[in-house]
Structure 1
């Protein structure tokens, strides 16, 4: 069964590129364009990994990460920030809130897929 990836980003060009890249790599993909939509979709889609932009409408990625990490239903879900916010303080905040990784835009598709694969196989028996 294909691993599920939830892409959370409001930039349509990023969403299209990530959707194509991840599906081509064999993942099942769902998309949310703001934090509140992502929170609702996480419940029904049950992602194995969330690719998360920090700057989102309606609820930013940091708040979404905090809420997901407080909910035991998402304890196994990996969170990888994929964001334009590249300052050290933003990276530290994302990791402190429980993210499993932090990549900044622009990103290499090879590097992104390596991170995704590493996160989704970590702990697999």
Structure 2
């Protein structure tokens, strides 16, 4: 698994992290779960961390014959988002301060899951 945090002035975020009015995130992060990830006894991998001044829960889960990819993020004072990308499936949820943003998508198990958080 790979996890990274970026300032948008240092590393341009993926285009789909832009807000609905073209807002560019000021800070963002990504966690990547490769296609060969091994699940624990609960058929899921979940991580809870503090990032960018907020709380981020992300992971991957066995979803029937699929692999699910999720990201949940909350920031107490900033507009923020949670996003995921797996195969051709993406999901993004943008929320105002102090409201959980939640994103989920699924695809076949042979795909890499990318979970993102961002602040605007």
Q: TM-score, normalised by structure 2?
A: 0.30
From the two aligned structures, give the one with the greater strand fraction: 2
Task: Flag the structure with larger Rg.
Answer: 2
Choose between structure 1 and 2 for higher RCO, CA contacts under 8 A separated by at least 6 residues.
Answer: 2
From the two aligned structures, give the one with the greater helix fraction: 1
